[in-house]
Amino acid sequence: MICCHGRLFLLLAVAASGAGAAPAAAPGPSGSSHVELDIMESLLPAAGASSSCPTSQELKHGIPAVGTRMPLVHRHGPCSPLADTERRRPSHTDILAADQRRVEHIHRRVFHTTTTTGPRRHRRKLMSTASALPTLSGNGRGTSNYLVTIGLGVPAACVTVALDTGSDTTWVQCNPCVDYCYPQDEPLFTPAKSSTYTNISCTSSYCSDLSYSSSSYCNRGGLCIYQIEYGDDGDGGRSFTVGYYAHDTLTLANDSFREFRFGCGEKNSGLFGHVSGVMGLGRGNTSLAMQAYYGMNGSVFAYCLPGKDSDTGFMVFGPPGSIDASLDETPMLTGDGPTFYYVRLTGIKVGGHLLPIPASVFSAAGALIDSGTTITRLPPSAYAPLRSAFAAGMARLGYRETSGFYSLDTCYNLTGLKGKVALPAVSLVFQGGASLDVHGSGILYVPDVSQACLAFQPNEDDADVAIVGSMQQKSYIVLYDIGRKVVGFANVGVGC
């Protein structure tokens, strides 16, 4: 992997989020009755399977050469920076269990935020653990869905971090580790080797910015110390990081960003795999997205998630208007709370027909877009008609329903089928008319050809926020424009 060599070659990697599901054909335009999926390509490839790795010169996508553009690849694919150490894929049960932990964490976080900072459209009993969860990110192998290799310091040291649109503060493991660090592939980042590294003082307003995205306190030398706790890791413990809040030069592709603020973690533990830390892209002041917005002339960012691990997607930072694509846009509901990218889901189509779901079902708790959640979660009163319509459509196509898999309750036995198969089209409709016509690889989660399952799940309650997960974002450019307060979707067809 080319990393910090002149122009930094930045890699984003899709984790096992979509079970390696792969597109067979682009979803049709909004209103289409069917889409196609290649069943064999939708299965997770065997560990160590080789495939060609597209070069940056092959990445066209209609995106102009302005701003900062980077290739995006599957975590377990041939271009992954962790390919040599993460050959053992998590099981499908592990993936779905970790996904559920993240969803529960989001629900606790959203409820805690909205009941302590302002009114909301719903009220539920506050869980006793919510107040102890100050921030959010992936806390298991199945939830850190994307990786990015960045340059940090001068000279730039390469660090591979998990990308997260659902958290704010970026952090990396740093040398020395006071007590312990979890194992990672790359050498620990060593601040002493960077000529531009500086710790942030407690008197700085930057230290105060940590009050929401994490907790902070001062050490005896008056330096700002950050502390981030994550959700339960599934083994009775918690993932966390503690260290100095600092700034240094950040290098993204051909661009350098001075005085980038991040956490230099000297005590870290959790199920982060072999990555060096977490990159926060939420809407809080400490996130890369907000720092880029204020420091790079109102920068926007976008990504496209590839449908299979041998495909290559991309991520791009650039000035407003730099994303040369036909985008359906929906308002970013910034008043619903910090960090998350809230939107208003207004309807669901199956087979091109809008389901008769009352608007009040979607407005009860709202919805958000999340890069770290795998399976889209819907209000139960919206999921039930989706499941019913999809099952009816599958029955008309002659598919046999079979037993559910783990938390997925609508599954089909596709044994004996080869090549492309037809599926009822599924579309998510947002405020303003924006439509996300889900790619075939985002409609079915395929642990095995004998159990191919609808890749949507119901929340526990209609009062839980809906979450649009990464499977349903595949083969779309997803744009985040903080300045204009919009989220945009552009269908780019097969792959990215």
- Active-site residues: which are they? 164, 370
SS3 assignment, position 487: strand
How far apart CA 441 and CA 421 sit, in angstroms, is: 11
Of 164, 145, 191, 160, the C-alpha closest to 279 is: 164
- What is the 8-class DSSP label of residue 190? -
Of 144, 167, 175, the C-alpha closest to 243 is: 175
How far apart CA 146 and CA 187 sit, in angstroms, is: 20
Please give the backbone phi and psi of residue 339, each rounded to the nearest 5 degrees, phi first: 65, -60
How far apart CA 322 and CA 324 sit, in angstroms, is: 6
CB-based burial label for 74 (10 Å; 0-12, 13-18, 19+): buried
How far apart CA 386 and CA 191 sit, in angstroms, is: 52
Of 28, 95, 44, the C-alpha closest to 440 is: 28
Beta bridge partners of 216: 226
Neighbours of 62 (CB within 10 A): 11
